[in-house]
Amino acid sequence: MYVPPAFREDRPQAIHALIEAHPLALLVSTGEDGLTANPVPMLLDPSADVLRCHLARANGQIGELRAAQAAGREVLAVFQGPQAYISPGWYASKAEHGRVVPTWNYLIVQVRGVPRVIEDADWLRGQVGALTDRHEAGLADPWSVGDAPDGFVAAQLRGIIGLELPLTRVTGKWKASQNRPAADRAGVIAGLEAAGDAMAARIPAPEQSQ
């Protein structure tokens, strides 16, 4: 991924926060037919620097993941955070000289690691339970895996394969108008806020240094 210095994000806490807030990753691997990409919800264990997830046993990508594990070859997980079109009409510099163009702001994290395919039933039960608890938390009437009959849960677990992906290489890119003058950033914030876009909160305030 192309990351100019102004947009590089290396803080582990910021990267972990984006992954936890936007856990549906695009999991990308390679095989004989080229690239395969599947959206997969992932759970981050920051203490172990590892992502955990599961895929349907019938998913053809599992063969590619097994091959990558055997070869020590990395796969890629992409986490896309807030994003927004940025109009040059929002820039103060448009009125000053007119030398402005549209762009796109976004926050993104790419994780590369050698996958570990897991078929252990206890591991799968724990992973599914942890993922469910994470996303049911805060609901008025949270559902848990234990609410379903044991036999049904066991049958469902036989239909999935687990995956661990270590955070071997992590790249964070926060493209949030950091390279623009303070007056332009103020205009971007105002434009996004008027549109009700959450990306507004990600733009450095005009008083902050670039």
pLDDT digits (tens, 9 = 90+) for 161-206: 999 999 999 999 999 999 999 999 999 999 999 999 999 999 998 8
d(CA 20, CA 79): 9
pLDDT score at 10: 96
Tens digit of pLDDT for each residue in 83-93?
999 999 999 99
Among 41, 62, 60, smallest CA distance to 52 is for 41
pLDDT score at 208: 64
- Span 97-112, mean pLDDT? 95
d(CA 77, CA 161): 17
Q: How much is the pTM?
A: 0.93
Question: Contact, 181 vs 158, CB < 8 A?
Answer: no
The strand pairing partners of 53, in sequence order, are 163
d(CA 80, CA 192): 18
Q: Which two tokens stand for residue 18?
A: 């984006």
Tens digit of pLDDT for each residue in 11-34?
999 999 999 999 999 999 999 989
Q: Is 152 helix (H, G, I), strand (E, B) or coil?
A: helix
Tens digit of pLDDT for each residue in 29-79?
999 989 999 999 999 999 999 999 999 999 999 999 999 999 999 999 999
Neighbours of 130 (CB within 10 A): 13
d(CA 138, CA 53): 21
The strand pairing partners of 31, in sequence order, are 34
d(CA 137, CA 159): 25
pLDDT score at 209: 55
d(CA 156, CA 89): 53
* Beta-carbon-side half-sphere exposure of residue 165 (alpha carbons within 13 Å): 31
The residues near 54 (Cβ < 8 Å, ≥ 6 apart) are: 124, 127, 128, 131, 160, 161, 162, 163
- Span 97-121, mean pLDDT? 96
- Span 98-124, mean pLDDT? 96
Asked whether the predicted pLDDT for residue 207 surpasses 90, the reply is: no
Confidence category of residue 95, pLDDT binned at 50, 70, 90? confident
d(CA 97, CA 104): 21
